[in-house]
Amino acid sequence: MIIKSFELNKLKLNNYKFYLFYGDNEGSKEEVIKKVFEQNYLDKIYRYEEKEILDNIDNFFNSILTKSFFDNEKLIIINRATDKVRETIEGLIEKNPEDIKIILNSKNLEKKSTLRKIFEKEKSIICVPFYEDNNQTLNSMISLFFRNKKIPISQQLINVLIERSRGDRKNLNNELEKIDAYLLNKKNLNLEEIIKLTNLAENYNASELVDHSLAKNTRKTVTILNENNYSDEDNIIIIRTLLAKLKRLVKIYELVDEKNNIEQAVSASKPPIFWKDKPLVIQQIRSWKKEHLKDLIYKTNDIELLIKKNSTIAKNILSDFIINNSRKTNN
């Protein structure tokens, strides 16, 4: 059955177990999965790549169909799903397992796709296309963000944000996150500030820089630093992004201690880690000891104070700090 994404909020989700989300609007799919589904499942979310399933179908069936006395409903998300996984999904639909919801996250499937045809025709399963956003949709997103912050914003600034994010919802969400980190108690934002805050969108954003540094990818870290001309605002955003990711890694480490398995700990992390980012986060966990992450949190707070006091050499201070953290000997 075909429905539009906004209709999921009106749907009695308990009546449906299988969902196909297809299309190139990854940002919109992420939002829907997070807002409509993930908040109801806490630590019972399991993410798979299609290749993982096809390489060992029996293991996949056993892992999702095995139910303990204490189990609640599971949410299974299968990323990069194509027609190759159709027979496996048909087998699951036929078994009609209890306490499971399955979301197939696919790229743009053509009309002749057998997977798409099954989900479009059957009334008991849901098919949702996710088309690219138009400017009107992105305009509404930006207006709502600033309205919730009680900050006035002109149409000119909205247009700049849409342009800087290349009309992509996921990029736009990244830019709004950076602005959110910068705002704190500010009551307004001007054009110059927005341009400075979003200049990383032209190459790499702050999150990518921090991710590669924490994963000990020194060469990639240096490349990103060399390709971007950071402003004072960028420096603060990078530091605060680093702090947020360090705190997340400490929390994941606590889950590792509990579950004794890095992959399971990363999958159980809240808020959920996007499937594309999971390999890098796993690499980060393997690159650091928990006590060193805690030490780095204190050092990062000190670096923020230092760059605020020494604005003329802030870029050098930050670059040295980020590169030093990316070296494999410093863990």
DSSP assignments along 50-106, one per residue: HHHHHH-HHHHHHHHH---TT---EEEEEET--GGGHHHHHHHHHH--TTEEEEEEE
The rounded radius of gyration (Å) of the Cα atoms in the chain is 22
- Tell me, what's the pLDDT at 43? 62
Averaged pLDDT in 10-residue chunks for the chain of 331 residues: 88 89 88 80 78 88 71 83 94 87 91 94 94 87 91 89 80 84 78 74 69 92 81 82 91 86 85 78 93 93 88 88 83 58
- Relative to beta strand 126-129, strand 45-49 is unpaired
Q: Is the pTM of this model over 0.75?
A: no
Do residues 73 and 100 make contact, with C-beta atoms less than 8 angstroms apart? Answer: yes
Which tokens go with 52? 């993982």
- Could you please state the CATH topology (level 3) that the domain comprising 208-326 is classified under: Zinc Finger, Delta Prime; domain 3 (1.20.272)
Tell me the domain boundaries of the chain.
Answer: 5-129, 135-202, 208-326
Whether the CB-CB separation of 179 and 240 falls below 8 Å is answered with no
- Distance from C-alpha of 285 to C-alpha of 249, rounded to nearest angstrom: 7
The C-alpha atoms of residue 197 and residue 179 are separated, in whole angstroms, by 7
Structure tokens that stand for 301 in this block: 């707070």
> Using an 8 Å Cβ cutoff, are 296 and 246 in contact?
yes
Sheet holding 100-106, edge to edge: 45-49, 74-79, 100-106, 18-22, 126-129
- Sign of the torsion formed by the C-alpha atoms of 101, 264, 79 and 61: negative
Quote the pLDDT of residue 68: 59
Residues whose CB falls within 8 Å of the CB of residue 26, separated by 6 or more in sequence, listed in order: 169, 170
Domain 5-129 has CATH 3.40.50.800: no
Q: How far is CA 251 from CA 144, 199, 258, in A?
A: 31, 31, 11
Q: Coil, strand, or helix at residue 19?
A: strand
The terminus-to-terminus CA distance of the chain in angstroms comes to 51
> Tell me, what DSSP letter sits at residue 219?
H
Secondary structure class of 129 (helix, strand, coil): strand
Q: What three-state secondary structure class fits 215?
A: coil
Residues forming a β-bridge with 215: none
User: Which residues have CB under 8 Å from 40's CB, separation 6+?
Assistant: 75
